[in-house]
Amino acid sequence: MSEDKIEAKKKIDIRGEICPYTFIKSKLAIEEIQGGQLLEVTVNHLPAVENVPRSMENEGHEIVLVRQETASDWKIIIRKKQEG
């Protein structure tokens, strides 16, 4: 799947938030979508670039993409784990 074809079901912009709030808000957002769907998270807190993906993987979700968008903004795309 090319990056241009990735379409997230839900997008959240949590720039300005710091850890652990970045993970908490990402976790709440992913609970609102179905298994297999994508969540796109935009952050600008550098520790969140590592902490959010690691925490989401620990929850069983798949990290599809982590990419720097601007000098300070990062995009994280997460595929929610399938239930069952």
Spatial contact of 65 and 73, defined as CB atoms under 8 Å apart: no
The CB-side HSE value for 75 (13 A sphere, CA atoms) comes to 15
Crossing angle of the two packed helices 46-58 and 21-30, in degrees rounded to 10:
40
Reply yes or no on whether 80 is catalytic. Answer: no
Choose, from 6, 19, 64, 66, the residue flagged as catalytic: 19
**Which residues are marked as active site?**
19
